[in-house]
Structure 1
């Protein structure tokens, strides 16, 4: 908590003394923690270097803070300006996963066909078993029971329930695979002028499609350095998050952080 207070104090002073205002994104992470010595500070400082990214119109604040043994706070801050008004179209992110989504499409289609065929068998193949009292007495037992309910799988209740359950599972697998493919991003393109961005997403069998949106309608929920594997991006007017796999290639990471990778209140 003391590191958070130290960093917040340094950021507040820096922004108070600078013309940058209207903060649109605030993300931070711990880069190095432990016993270390920062430059221009005394040896043996119990240091925790905190790297931040505070951006507004391409202005980025970086801060490194350390706490001494007596509780004193040492912070170094600096601004870096990244121009978002690009003179030509710039590819910010790219990740080719066509083969994976082709396999995903075949898997989902196979699962759907399997569950549909199982539902067809349940609806047409299961027959109700009728056991008379005389036959039950001769056999010494009646139908098996589970929780007091007779397991007559051919009865209307079991037959319709099993059929609906199979159709539900198959549909869920197909829909989940389709939604995941449609929200997985293959490429992000920032257009000339830096005011519009184009997302390219996948179809279940490896195909792609693109759509464009104003940059002000794009908000990144988690910073690129904090997201574990997928970077969730929200686009106004579209349901669910768009996912950028961190295994992809960021062609211009700094420009990405202050454009698509910045948090905006939509």
Structure 2
């Protein structure tokens, strides 16, 4: 072996030591090292043309959503009752200004039965009740229970929770799904955006990625439309 060959080998090894992560998908290589043999498979090597439906993500926690939606219903009933009470039971009782002094509490200086106060309180209570149940229901409908890559690898199915305990199923083309954050960097929720839909679908990181490399190669990609 000539001197030039030795120099070439040394340069290649030094470059490999200096730039060990100079390739896309190396994080996947590290995470997929098996005991007994080293796997050098990246997301570019994954065959996404699956022969049957494959579960990519799973998060089973129905009790949490059941109790959360029960709380939302109770809040809605409570605030709605306060709103109806404000509209129907607050009476117009003008304040006698001659009896007001510096020691009089602020609530005794206000005539809550006056139209502007009664209507404001009633409307505010109704809005709080409706807003609380709407937020919790929307959060429930956007929380993913199962994410399934369908046979052929061209579509994914979102199975989400619902306020009344049943599943909500939506099948969309894979190219309509965009992952907004790296699965590794997500701390609480991993957001997935589906084209032509409102808000993001959320994958709770406490769930289980059943096929992480396949997820990274399909639904876990960031797409631009």
Alpha carbons 1:115, 1:167 under 8 Å: kept: yes
More strand per residue: 1
Residue-by-residue CA offset, 1:155-178 (whole Å, 9 max, x unaligned): 111100000110111111011001
Q: Work out the CA distance in 1 between the residues paired with 2:159 and 2:122.
A: 38
Q: Which residue of 1 aligns with 2:89?
A: 125
Report if the CA contact (8 A) 2:180-2:191 is conserved. yes
1:216 maps to 2:175: yes
Per the normalisation by structure 1, the TM-score is 0.67
Q: 1:205 to 1:191 in 2, by over 3 A?
A: same
Runs of at least 4 residues of structure 1 off by over 6 A? none
Separation of aligned partners in 1, 2:70 and 2:100: 50
Give unpaired runs (5+ residues) of structure 2: 1-12, 30-39
CA RMSD, aligned part only? Answer: 2.9
Q: Does 1:86 align with 2:50?
A: yes
Count of residues paired in the alignment: 198
Q: Deviations over 1:207-249 (max 9, x none)?
A: 2110100001111010100111111001112110000011111
C-alpha separation between the residues in 2 aligned to 1:107 and 1:211? 27
Larger helix share, 1 or 2: 2
Q: 1:250 to 1:165 in 2, by over 3 A?
A: same
Matches of 1:63 and 1:224, distance apart in 2: 11
Residue 96 of structure 1: aligned partner: 60
1: CA distance, partners of 2:148 / 2:19? 36
- The higher relative CO (CA closer than 8 Å, separation ≥ 6) is in 2
